[in-house]
Amino acid sequence: ACVEGQTRCEGDLVSTCAVGPGGEPAFSPAVACAGDAVCKGAACVEPTAGQRAQAAELLEVVGYLQGNTAWHGPLDWARIRDDGKRRIFRGDGGELDYFTALFHAFIAVPQGHQGLYAGRACGKLVPMPGFAQRGACGRPHPRGVIVTQVAAGNALGLAKGDLIVGLGAARGDAVLAELSQRPSCATSRPGASFTAFTTATTFSDLVRPGEKLEVESPDGAVRAVTVPDGALSGDLQKALFCQDPFGRDTRKPVESELRPDGVGVIRLPGFTDPEQPFPTSGNPADIDAYQAKFEDKIQAAFDAVKTARAIVWDVRGNGGGLTRVGLDIASGFPGAQAGDISYCQARIPESDPPAFDTFKYATYALAPGGRFAYAGKVAVLIDGLDYSAADYFPLAVKTKTSAILVGAPTAGGFGATSATRDFKGPPSFSVSVDLNRCSAAADDTPLEGRGVTPHVAAEYDPKDVAAGRDSILERAVRELDAR
């Protein structure tokens, strides 16, 4: 029973108590509130002036994305706008609720190389992807998240090899699915693999104080962990950097080693050289000189292991850089074939429906041979953080060589950031867009969102991680031995 005239909320809808035909009061079927009002508490509430201002700015953001993104698939822009407004209006008008609405509108557009960043709010108001202020980095696992790197005395008491198998009521895949919907400063999400990996890297900052985690140790023991109280400090200098699965030094441009079993391993954390300032002159000769110096370092690492019976190139966590560097490396792989791989075309800004210039640029191909020529067996380790140039490298390997890919699908971001616009907020933030539609030369199919899948899927084993063994590398060596 209810009191006549009493109201209650059912989501955003409102239900009113009225006397029915039998003379008894009962709640009527829920209906939408009038205008922009949403049901909060137990009644319809009009948005505040501040919330209306937030909604107006969000619509500007969506318009900027709609007018400039190169995304090739259909998007329901009206739904994106309406969902953003409703998220704002059902919130409290604060910065976190506003940024949450912006985040969901932003990730609804899958084109890569687009960004949503909020300056100092990144890492404080919301987590910063790729960092772990609570001291634990992870990677996706079929049963949830596997912890691959930890700081001593981390806030969650986690150890390498631990599996996060539960988060509240969520279990298994649902753990990452839940965390992926929580706001963070964001690089756009062109594919499912990138979404899973970028979420897992910073899972420990995405969990919330008071939440219950179910943690399984490598020996099978299960324990409950409660996320401690305390907001993120925003001090990323003290946070773990999670781009590499094991926290290896990404400031070293390249490393190589010859294993006792005769297999060479070359680790390439990026396709840029952190030991050189990147040229900003716009002069192609400066880029060429930078690339040549970088490739000299890669060649030295390659020369140190080129007598190996097989070579594994490890590009996991490679955020990209100079695509030509990766293509030069792949040109030396066994079975390398000449021929075009891809090309790009630019969207005409504000064209509706989206139209693209006919001029083709960034036409990539292999030139078999070169300074990295190697006749032995080759494997490449890949994962969902491989982005941009580190998408093109596995694409070339898979389509134009006989080397094998081992690991997880790459990100699927093949374009480049084209422009950035600042917005006032608060919090103040910027949105970047990608006007580049890049396609496969073989069939003109857009590449965006189609990460390169490995020949051999492999995952991290908890006992291996706990013992300091690299499950993905060992799987690659076994595959090479079997071929």
> What is the C-alpha to C-alpha distance for residues 298 and 290, in angstroms, rounded to an integer?
13
For residues 311 and 205, state if they share a domain: no
Nearest to 390 by CA among 338, 347, 342, 452: 452
**Chain centroid to CA 415: how far?**
15
Residues 6+ apart with CB under 8 A from 308: 258, 262, 263, 264, 376
> What is the C-alpha to C-alpha distance for residues 64 and 76, in angstroms, rounded to an integer?
15
> What is the C-alpha to C-alpha distance for residues 382 and 144, in angstroms, rounded to an integer?
20
For residues 23 and 148, state if they share a domain: no
**Chain centroid to CA 414: how far?**
13
Nearest to 341 by CA among 368, 367, 369, 365: 365
Question: What are the residues facing 44 on neighbouring strands?
Answer: 39
When divided into structural domains, the chain yields a total of 3
For residues 405 and 325, state if they share a domain: yes
pTM flag (> 0.75): yes
Nearest to 429 by CA among 205, 125, 203, 198: 125
Specify if 221 maps to a domain. Answer: yes
Position of tokens 């993120």? 232
Residue 306 sits in a domain whose CATH number is 3.90.226.10
Nearest to 218 by CA among 467, 407, 457: 467
Residues 6+ apart with CB under 8 A from 188: 106, 107, 109, 110, 111, 112, 113, 114, 115, 116, 413, 434
Length of the chain: 483
Specify if 262 maps to a domain. Answer: yes
Position of tokens 């965390």? 179
User: Domain ends where: 193, 213, 241?
Assistant: 241
The answer to whether 336 and 398 have CB atoms below 8 angstroms apart is: no
pLDDT digits (tens, 9 = 90+) for 139-160: 999 999 999 999 999 999 999 9
- Helix, coil or strand: residue 138: strand
For residues 457 and 395, state if they share a domain: yes
For residues 263 and 216, state if they share a domain: no
Residue 477: domain span: 255-332+369-414+449-481
Nearest to 480 by CA among 334, 330, 322: 334
For residues 190 and 142, state if they share a domain: yes
pLDDT digits (tens, 9 = 90+) for 333-359: 999 999 999 999 999 999 999 999 999
Q: What is the pLDDT along the chain (483 residues), one digit of tens a residue?
A: 799 999 999 999 999 999 988 899 999 999 999 999 999 999 999 999 999 999 999 999 999 999 999 999 999 999 999 999 999 999 999 999 999 999 999 999 999 999 999 999 999 999 999 999 999 999 999 999 999 999 999 999 999 999 999 999 999 999 999 999 999 998 999 999 999 999 999 999 999 999 999 999 999 999 999 999 999 999 999 999 999 999 999 999 999 999 999 999 999 999 999 999 999 998 999 999 999 999 999 999 999 999 999 999 999 999 999 999 999 999 999 999 999 999 999 999 999 999 999 999 999 999 999 999 999 999 999 999 999 999 999 999 999 999 999 999 999 999 999 999 999 999 999 999 999 999 999 999 999 999 999 999 999 999 999 999 999 999 999 999 999
Alpha carbon dihedral 237, 248, 279, 346, in 10-degree steps, equals -100
CA 48-51-57 angle, 5° bins: 145
- Helix, coil or strand: residue 403: coil
For residues 214 and 315, state if they share a domain: no
Nearest to 415 by CA among 344, 335, 340: 344
